[in-house]
Structure 1
């Protein structure tokens, strides 16, 4: 007798394929950005770039995150997240190759294409999680965040040896293979999702998903106000999270060099745990929630860990490795916490999409300015005490917003 897979087993296999494809997508959402800084001196020499041009190359993607997120949200709503993620991966591949073409215009254009394509993915992935993994939003968001950090770690560690062997152009362009692998996996998974979402009803009509306005209008006024309040709080929290991340990423090696007397190479290596620990930190949220901790308890733990870095470097700099590791885990975990709240507490997929777009627009707009502001404060004061106090203040505001946002909603 021939046996056939049960529907439950088939659904499980399809869910597994979707999750694997989603994680391959996540691998590409930071890797093209973090592959550039390790070889930026080679790129500058090869293209004849000034320091201003180098700064533009490294800052364009974050500016795209801030400026293009609203447009990305509209595109996700019009085309669906499945098509949007396919377009994102195709754009990442095209931009990665174009960036390595060997001219300044191509480098700038390719970097902009990469930034816009990643922005599209940044918006589309939380929509997929909110729609298809709502009950496991914390675990899937944690895996998504961890995989992004894993991609960053790989490109940061391997781009220099690849450039030494093949040259910086091939080293940077070669990471486009990750986008092709993800695209090859995502196309069948996304096609299945899109077909399922467009299945006709009994009358043969294909349902149109409700808009964010329709989903909000279906709520009673107190619930509607609670959703809007949550979006504002998470926007403030993500502004602090993203600003702290990009400011610390930009200046931590210099701080360790100046305050602890490390060599430039040693300080660069000492800053690596800030990125590496984020991979493990991404699982703090699902692990804590699975053990019965409240969202607020997890958020406050992460905030304390994040704050330990600027305060620790001010008060006990000799313990720098502890502070760097704690903050690295916290920044990975806090990203997970913020977008888990978006997925779990949005009343529908359309609201989750709009909320994610608003949160990211506010956060990345602040993050684009953070390294410059921190550098200006350092230059004006001649030391790192004032800049570290600025980071402390930013993270304290983030902690306060998370404390309110993560409170248990009233029934």
Structure 2
């Protein structure tokens, strides 16, 4: 088979990654309005974030099996088609069942695409995984930030109809689908198909736990950060701008930190640094949200963006073949997202019960500290293994 241009392979990876987050983060600027118009409680409207994340966890283990049947590239193309369909359905999202159903379909597509994109990186970019993961995580951060920043203006341009503002994100998914359909498909060989998920590997469990904590924090903030700032007395415009800043700060950390991790082999020290930065930032958002809010919006975005990007690197160094990397990533996403989906719902429920956001945000701060401790444990384990 004639080699496919590396530039187009990287572009396909970037376009796929861009489409993994807007369907979720685009809801944050509109969530209070949607809840009011559809007469939904905060715990129920949070299902629009929680259900995709739950699907991303429960369905991730099926990704390697689908790739064995259809081929890695065609399976990812199918995921792009499902993401586009889910977002197009949001044109009819004034019916709450359709809004929540589109979230389930979106989560299923992202669940399968995530592990396979890691395998795609291992297959085509084995010699420069750090820099390519940087582009991969940067692209996801761009998609997430785009969803957070551009959805409100898009809604205004489209007749102030929030369902149209949500559905417009189907367009980049359709563009990604067209490119993925052009890629040569490869069915896995027998040597790459053996083995299941690494359930008996202690490090796989530690990596999965770390991923669960950082993902849970991200999706809790993606759902409730604007509401927390607004409750503290900031205007809705100011609150939305702070959330947008946090999303945008994921861009530099998503690209820079995987590159630094490969160049200096210090990924666990960087993980600890991101955990500490996130912990301090969340502590301030919890107890003093109106004191230098722009600073803490910047630092929490940088810390959580870096934690996510570095967690994507970890399976690439634990497994040798593309399918093995996909299996490690599938376990990480399965365990991580299955637990992370609880944080938006529990945060919303705690807000309904407590009457304010301070109590749930105190718990989020504690989770960030646990995430920092796990990064230290992972680093110590790697040092012992190398000794």
Q: Report the TM range for the smaller structure's normalisation.
A: 0.7 to 0.9
Given that residues 93 and 179 in structure 1 are in contact (C-alpha distance below 8 angstroms), is that contact kept between their aligned partners in structure 2?
yes
The structural deviation recorded for 1:107 is 3.4
Structure 1's 248 and 101: CA in aligned 2 closer, same or farther, altered over 3 A?
Answer: closer
Determine the structure 1 residue equivalent to 2:261: 289
The structural deviation recorded for 1:376 is 4.2
Q: Deviations over 1:117-142 (max 9, x none)?
A: 12111121111112222332222222
Structure 1's 135 and 215: CA in aligned 2 closer, same or farther, altered over 3 A?
Answer: farther
Higher relative contact order (CA 8 A, sep 6+): 2
Given that residues 148 and 243 in structure 2 are in contact (C-alpha distance below 8 angstroms), is that contact kept between their aligned partners in structure 1?
no
Residues in 1 aligned to 2:90 and 2:197: alpha-carbon distance in whole angstroms: 41
Q: Deviations over 1:64-85 (max 9, x none)?
A: 1122222334223432321110
The structural deviation recorded for 1:215 is 11
The structural deviation recorded for 1:299 is 1.7
Moved more, 237-246 or 103-112: 103-112
Given that residues 126 and 356 in structure 1 are in contact (C-alpha distance below 8 angstroms), is that contact kept between their aligned partners in structure 2?
yes
In structure 1, the gaps of 5 or more residues are 1-9, 199-206, 217-223
| Match among 140, 149, 154 for residue 141 of structure 2 | 149
Within 5 Å, which residues of 2 pair with 1:61-80? 61-80=52-71
Q: Deviations over 1:43-94 (max 9, x none)?
A: 5677x45336533334321221122222334223432321110100111112
| Match among 20, 45, 66 for residue 29 of structure 1 | 20
The structural deviation recorded for 1:379 is 5.2
Residues in 1 aligned to 2:35 and 2:355: alpha-carbon distance in whole angstroms: 28
Determine the structure 1 residue equivalent to 2:204: 231
Residues in 2 aligned to 1:383 and 1:39: alpha-carbon distance in whole angstroms: 19
Determine the structure 1 residue equivalent to 2:40: 50
Residues in 2 aligned to 1:36 and 1:385: alpha-carbon distance in whole angstroms: 22
Moved more, 135-144 or 103-112: 103-112
Determine the structure 2 residue equivalent to 1:136: 128
Q: Does 1:306 align with 2:278?
A: yes
Determine the structure 2 residue equivalent to 1:84: 75
Indicate the SS of the match to 2:59.
Answer: helix
Structure 1's 165 and 322: CA in aligned 2 closer, same or farther, altered over 3 A?
Answer: closer
Residues in 2 aligned to 1:36 and 1:257: alpha-carbon distance in whole angstroms: 16
Given that residues 138 and 336 in structure 1 are in contact (C-alpha distance below 8 angstroms), is that contact kept between their aligned partners in structure 2?
no
In structure 2, the gaps of 5 or more residues are none
Q: Deviations over 1:190-216 (max 9, x none)?
A: x1x52xx67xxxxxxxx4243352998
Residues in 2 aligned to 1:115 and 1:241: alpha-carbon distance in whole angstroms: 18
Given that residues 61 and 197 in structure 2 are in contact (C-alpha distance below 8 angstroms), is that contact kept between their aligned partners in structure 1?
no
Determine the structure 1 residue equivalent to 2:181: 187
Structure 1's 132 and 183: CA in aligned 2 closer, same or farther, altered over 3 A?
Answer: same
Structure 1's 361 and 326: CA in aligned 2 closer, same or farther, altered over 3 A?
Answer: same
Residues in 2 aligned to 1:131 and 1:168: alpha-carbon distance in whole angstroms: 40
Number of residue pairs aligned between Structure 1 and Structure 2: 379
Determine the structure 2 residue equivalent to 1:174: 168
The structural deviation recorded for 1:371 is 2.3
Residues in 1 aligned to 2:346 and 2:105: alpha-carbon distance in whole angstroms: 26
Residues in 2 aligned to 1:379 and 1:40: alpha-carbon distance in whole angstroms: 15
Given that residues 12 and 180 in structure 2 are in contact (C-alpha distance below 8 angstroms), is that contact kept between their aligned partners in structure 1?
yes
Moved more, 337-346 or 110-119: 110-119
The structural deviation recorded for 1:290 is 5.3
Length-normalised TM-score, structure 2: 0.87
Residues in 1 aligned to 2:358 and 2:26: alpha-carbon distance in whole angstroms: 30
Moved more, 265-274 or 289-298: 289-298
